[in-house]
Amino acid sequence: MTPTALVVGSLHHDIMVEADHLPRRDETATGRRWYPKFGGKGGNQAVAVARAGVACRMLGAVGTDGFGQFLRERLRAGGVDDRFVATLADVGSGMSVAIQDRSGDYAATIVSGANLRIDAAALQDPALWQDVGLLILQNEVAEDLNLTAATKARSRGVRTLLNAAPARALPEALVPLVDLLVVNAVEAEMMGAGIVADLAGAAAAARLLSDRFGSVIVTAGSLGLAAVTPEDGVFTVAAQKVQAVSSHGAGDAFVGTLGAGLARGTPVRAAVEAASRAAARHVSGGD
């Protein structure tokens, strides 16, 4: 039986706004339409794991509001086990507002809410870890929660994938517990890896970060990605050329599909290539 992937992470009710362009400072831009969307890096990645055919369980939290009900319903509809998603009465659900321009680029603001109140004590429940073969983390929850989750995973012999997004300083104790780091070009730069302007730059950034993390993937949007692993050394994967509809959530589609591949035992390079194709489908509106 394929092991389960466990996602410890965020859930956001996204309010998407479509406009001709992203507003500048002090500008009021006119949008064309808005619509609600299931989101949060944790939730998106969990659904992407399930969509790729691997069982996924999530540890998270929502509020008692309508946003929370929406998020839980969409999580279940996506095939994710939500038994460990708590409903908290004294805090609102996480949410975001994202503005997308005609080219598909976007900018967003998040309000974390319940995501910062996920109870780390739930990580002690053996039922949470039943059949888990991979832990997936992001940076939209409290640092201590990620550290506790990664520590528990290591004690159980479970690999940890950290998508260090959004970028922030990581606790030094977390670094040796990360088996695979995934960052985009901006996050790599913010972690001290230098500017990524092409795949050669992405490869250089991945090599530098691998001194701390071992296995590293640096994604570079429409250019593709570079990776460093002990098994494959340094390699790059060019992005598929597609007609872009929206880049929103493409990174989460990549991470979730990658996690599904790793959970089922696919070699890292093959899992990375499959994840790259999934991200391209997402950008083209194929998901």
Sheet hosting strand 4-8, strand order edge to edge: 80-88, 56-63, 4-8, 132-138, 159-163, 180-184, 215-219, 224-229, 233-238
Architecture of domain 4-178+240-283: 3-Layer(aba) Sandwich (3.40)
Whether the CB-CB separation of 158 and 135 falls below 8 Å is answered with yes
In sequence order, which residues have a C-beta less than 8 Å from that of residue 103 and are 6 or more positions away?
244
CA 85 to chain centroid: 17
Whether the CB-CB separation of 178 and 160 falls below 8 Å is answered with yes
**Does residue 26 sit in helix, strand or coil?**
coil
Residue from 14, 144, 252, 287 carrying the catalytic annotation = 252
CA 51 to chain centroid: 14
Structure tokens at 275: 């994840």
**Does residue 98 sit in helix, strand or coil?**
strand
List the pLDDT tens digit at each of the 287 positions of the chain: 679 999 999 999 999 999 999 999 999 999 999 999 999 999 999 999 999 999 999 999 999 999 999 999 999 999 999 999 999 999 999 999 989 898 878 788 889 999 999 999 999 999 999 999 999 999 999 999 999 999 999 999 999 999 999 999 999 999 999 999 999 999 999 999 989 999 999 999 999 999 999 899 999 988 999 999 999 999 999 987 766 556 667 889 999 999 999 999 999 999 999 999 988 787 766 66
Catalytic-residue membership of 144: no
Q: Indicate the residue type of 256.
A: G
How far apart (Å, rounded) are the C-alpha atoms in residues 47 and 37? 13
Whether the CB-CB separation of 252 and 49 falls below 8 Å is answered with no
Question: Which pTM value belongs to this model?
Answer: 0.93
